[in-house]
Amino acid sequence: MVVNCEEVWREISNYLDGDVDPTLRAAIDGHVRGCKRCAAVLDGTNNIVELYGDERMVEVPIGFSYRLRRRLEDNMPGSRRSFFGWMVAAVAAMVIAGGFEVARSSVFSRPQPRSEHAQLASGVPPDLMVVVYPEGKTFHVSTCPFILDKTHLRTIAAHDAESQGYVPCTRCMKKYLTANLDPPAPAGVNNDV
């Protein structure tokens, strides 16, 4: 059997895949041995298959695996990040926040004040940072001149101070007292902390 160049080119792909019968394979081998052009085409085509078949040819974007895994986890049933999970978390957060607001607004939820003569606070921003000391009964701004024990001061949120029974200083926290009848705070007191 003898094949010409066109027949070789037509069968090169099948030849490389081992998908030609032995007779045709022998004929192609014989032709290529004596034909530089077909040898070049055959060599080059084989190199193409080898190169593109190399795993190094596939370059994925940086972080591809991480993002894929995250996306998959987000869509897993029961995932904490799944839509359902987010909804449950959001509802739970609203319930907690609502409960917190109710608790804050209720006089029954207030802790026992450290001072039986204290005036209760009203409208203190819960995240306002104030200072307290262990034996004290009131919470202050850090610059208040009426702090008695400055060596054991600790800074906490006003909400925490209230929950621990501390009441507003009648001087530096005057504006947050429920019965605001005192004269203005002394000059130099910074209520903004």
Partner 1 sequence: MPEKPNLLENPAHEPSETELVQRVQDGEHDLFYELIQPYERRLYAAAFAILRNESDAEDVAQEAVLKAFRHIRQFRSEARFSTWLIQITVNEARMWRRKGHAHQIEPIDDRQDESGEYQPREFADWREVPSEALERSEVRRKLTEALASIGQIYREVFVLRDMQQLSIEETAKALDISPASVKTRLLRARLMLRELLAPGLGGGWSSKLSFEKGVKPW
How near is the Cβ of 77 to partner 1 at its closest, in Å? 6
What does the DSSP 8-state code read for residue 20? S
Separation of alpha carbons 123 and 147, rounded Å: 22
DSSP string of 71-108, one letter each residue? HHHHTSTT-TTSHHHHHHHHHHHHHHHHHHHHHHH-GG
Nearest to partner 1 of 65, 155 (CB atom):
65
Binding of partner 1 at residue 67 (CB under 8 A)?
A: yes
How far is Cα of residue 79 from the mean position of the Cα atoms in its chain?
15
- According to the binding rule CB under 8 A, does residue 81 interact with partner 1? no
Residue 75 as a binder of partner 1 (CB under 8 A): the answer is yes
| The one among 4, 26, 44, 125 contacting partner 1 by CB under 8 A | 44
In whole angstroms, the minimum distance from the beta carbon of 79 to partner 1 comes to 9
Task: Please say which residue, 46 or 178, places its beta carbon nearer to partner 1.
Answer: 46
Q: Least separation, in Å, of the C-beta of 190 and partner 1?
A: 52
Inter-helix orientation angle 22-34/36-52, to 10°: 120
Token pair listed for 147: 């702090």
3-state secondary structure of 141: coil
- In the complex, the residues that contact partner 1 under the rule CB under 8 A are 6, 9-10, 12-14, 16-17, 19, 36-37, 39-61, 64-65, 67-69, 71-73, 75-78
